Structure 1
């Protein structure tokens, strides 16, 4: 299964808010064996949201969108997703019923709180008010991290793939000096390899076979200078 993650918010693009939602979602999806192939951040603009969601839903098995839910003037994500799917926004009776169970009457709610794309499945917000939505492989989640996490956990069984196993080897050598051994471990074992320089070089080994990645990591550790 391959997925695109779309985060929405002017504050993300301005650097006022760290995009922790994208990192968390990528980690959780990877744990489930899902390949995240795009992470895109968009402004609070209906046209941009509609264009990107429409493009990505044609390319990937699912699109996960976070941020911009609610009834305020800059909460435009549902409208953008509805436009991408060619749907109208409609008040969702199921979402209203959930909110009523949580103690919110219609009179309490700002207009538009429970408006979702026509035909969407409402996703209950256990940690907040604004509901999410799922339709045609597009999942719309809140931007508030605790709300997003709780909502994703309610649907995560819908995301699956082949688990990937990962081990890391730390080398206290320049990255350029390691190129021959990186090439050798790639040739010798069926693993993907990434190297990430810093104070030391972290060499990441990944495979869908747990034994293979363990053997590759052991082989490489014997051939690099590790930190003392």
Structure 2
């Protein structure tokens, strides 16, 4: 299963808010064996949201969108998702009923709070007010981290892939000097190798077979100068 993550918010692009949602979702999806292949941040504009979501839903098994939910003027994510699918926004009876059962009368709610794309499945917000939604293969979650996490946990079973295994080898050599051994381990084993330079070079060996990953990491450790 491959997924794209789209985070919505002018404040993310301006650096006023750190995009912790994308990091958290990436970690949780990776733990479930799901490949996250895109992380994109877009402004609070309907056209930008619609364009990116429409592009990604054609390329990936699912698109996870966070941020921009609610009834205020800059909360336009639901409109953007609806536009991507060519659907209208409609008051969602189940979402409204759940909010009323949670103690919010219709008079308490700002107009539009329960408006979701036509045909959407509502995702209830146990940590806040604004509901999320699932429309086809698009999952729309809040931007407030506590709300996003709780809502994702309610639907995370819908994301599953082959489990992956990872081992790191830390080399005390320049990255350029390691190219021959990186090529060698990839030729001999069915693994991917990421190279992350710093004070030393972290070689991340990853694959879907635990024994193969362990053997590839051991092969590398025998052939590189290990950092202490």
TM-score normalised according to structure 1 size: 0.97
| CA displacement at 1:69 relative to structure 2 | 0.2
Aligned residue for 1:120?
A: 120
Tell me, yes or no, if structure 1 residue 221 matches structure 2 residue 218.
no
Instruction: State how far apart, in whole Å, the 1-side matches of 2:202 and 2:190 are.
Output: 19
Aligned residue for 2:169?
A: 169
Instruction: State how far apart, in whole Å, the 2-side matches of 1:61 and 1:181 are.
Output: 34
Tell me, yes or no, if structure 1 residue 131 matches structure 2 residue 125.
no
User: Which 4+ stretches in 1 moved above 2 angstroms?
Assistant: none
TM-score normalised according to structure 2 size: 0.97
Instruction: State how far apart, in whole Å, the 2-side matches of 1:96 and 1:62 are.
Output: 26
Aligned residue for 1:58?
A: 58
Matched length? 228
1:1-228 aligned within 5 A: 1-228=1-228
| CA displacement at 1:168 relative to structure 2 | 0.7
Instruction: State how far apart, in whole Å, the 1-side matches of 2:27 and 2:65 are.
Output: 15
| CA displacement at 1:188 relative to structure 2 | 1.6
Say what the alpha-carbon RMSD is for the aligned residues.
0.9
| CA displacement at 1:227 relative to structure 2 | 2.1
SS in 2 for 1:215: helix
| CA displacement at 1:123 relative to structure 2 | 0.2
Instruction: State how far apart, in whole Å, the 2-side matches of 1:44 and 1:30 are.
Output: 27
Please list every run of 5 or more consecutive structure 2 residues that lacks an aligned counterpart in the other structure: none
Instruction: State how far apart, in whole Å, the 2-side matches of 1:183 and 1:88 are.
Output: 52
Instruction: State how far apart, in whole Å, the 2-side matches of 1:189 and 1:61 are.
Output: 28
SS in 2 for 1:107: coil
SS in 2 for 1:119: coil
Instruction: State how far apart, in whole Å, the 1-side matches of 2:149 and 2:198 are.
Output: 31
